[in-house]
Amino acid sequence: MRIEQDLKLGFKDVMIRPKRSTLKSRSQVSLEREFKFLHGAKAWSGVPIMAANMDTVGTFEMAKALAKNKMFTAVHKHYSIDEWAAFLQETDASLLEYIAVSTGTGKQDFKKLKTLVSAHPQLRFICIDVANGYSEHFVEFVKNTRKQFPDQVIIAGNVVTGEMVEELLLAGADIVKVGIGPGSVCTTRVKTGVGYPQLSAIIECADAAHGLGGQIISDGGCAIPGDIAKAFGAGADFVMIGGMLAGHDESGGEKIERDGKLYKLFYGMSSSTAMEKHVGGVAEYRASEGKTVEVPYRGEVQVTVQDILGGIRSTCTYVGASRLKELTKRTTFIRVAEQENRVYTPS
Ligand code: 5GP
């Protein structure tokens, strides 16, 4: 047994220090970024905020709404080949820049991925997603996917440490997804004791990825726009959000009415709700590692998107970054023992 004594930080432990700036208005800030990839063929440009590949977040409807803002959606893996075909038929080419196909690492998953992407090679992004990205089997899966699809951009995760980021990039991933345990409906830290505070995970993993010419996605733990800004400030190339996009018209599922108020169901992809829906129950050898919650219904996602983008633009003006790309360089975090004033925040 060993104890690492370095303190690891989460979003709640820091704030971004304001800096002198020549920017007059938020409208002068560009949130678009352009990336070239380590393996994947073509460059990408857009606003690097992503909807999580959860079936109560990363739906086709969400993809259509976010693409209007040049934002990205990792579409959840439970759509059938036929549903994909119908969706691709009705949508225009520009949307393809902003969606990834998600997959697990089982034999059936690979078969489905091969069928889907071979039939629709215009699907440029593949998101290989497992809760624990530290297994050899996962690395092998990334290698095989790279062999099968030399031109596609491969996202792989989740991990939280630099050495595993490097291993995945060398195995063929372009972008590594970072985050174990910070998610709003995640119970991994409760059930297993495993995790890594997200801000430190981003700082360490971004350093490892950028050293090799790869990118990272900070995945999970953003509850407010300020957290997304902190994730970018820490060095994340992309930020993936789940809970912040749940509860909208585009989030999938039915509205639930209770005592005159409307809610929508939101659940972790390893929750018993998800496992019962998609694989007929929780297998005996495992525990569910996700929560099921009802979140207040929030209408169209565009209102939330504007709130998020406006917040990050404002962060950029506070530190004098005219482009999102400059935010990391212009960020100095301060360690804090307080966050916002919650006097008028209902508990
Ligand atoms: P949020 O933005 O809601 O804080 O976090 C979203 C992320 O939580 C997802 O992208 C995914 O990485 C993670 N997540 C989703 N469902 C589950 C789950 O059932 N268990 C765990 N451990 N993590 C989950």
Antiparallel, parallel or unpaired: β 33-35 and 14-16: unpaired
Cβ of 55 less than 6 Å from ligand 1: no
For residue 276 the two structure tokens come to 């019962």
DSSP per position, 154-174: EEEEEE-SHHHHHHHHHHT-S
Nearest Cα residue to 155 out of 86, 106, 233, 209: 209
* Cβ of 247 less than 6 Å from ligand 1: no
Ligand 1 atom, smallest distance to 177 CA:
12
Query: Closest by alpha carbon to 288, among 220, 192, 198?
Result: 192
* Cα 266 to averaged position of ligand 1 atoms, centre (Å): 11
* Euclidean distance between CA atoms 228 and 278, whole angstroms: 30
Instruction: Compute CA distances 303 → 3, 254, 307, whole Å.
Output: 45, 20, 6
Strands (E), the chain: 14-16, 33-35, 44-46, 49-51, 72-75, 99-103, 125-129, 153-159, 175-178, 215-219, 238-241, 255-258, 261-267, 292-296, 333-335
- Per-position pLDDT tens, the chain of length 347: 999 999 999 999 999 999 998 988 888 999 999 999 999 999 999 999 999 999 999 999 999 999 999 999 999 999 999 999 999 999 898 999 999 999 999 999 999 999 999 999 999 999 999 999 999 999 999 999 999 999 999 999 999 999 999 999 999 999 999 999 999 999 999 999 999 999 999 999 999 999 999 999 999 999 999 999 999 999 999 999 999 999 999 998 889 999 999 999 999 999 999 999 998 887 777 778 899 999 999 999 999 999 999 999 999 999 999 999 999 999 999 999 999 999 998 76
199 CA distance to ligand 1 centroid (A)? 16
Instruction: Among 155, 185, 187, 251, say which to mutate for ligand 1: greatest number of ligand atoms within 8 Å of CB.
Output: 185
Euclidean distance between CA atoms 18 and 16, whole angstroms: 6
pTM beyond 0.85, yes or no: yes
Active site residues: 186
Looking at the DSSP assignment, which residues form a beta bridge with residue 52?
none
> Tokens for 90?
């009705």
CA 319 centroid distance within chain = 24
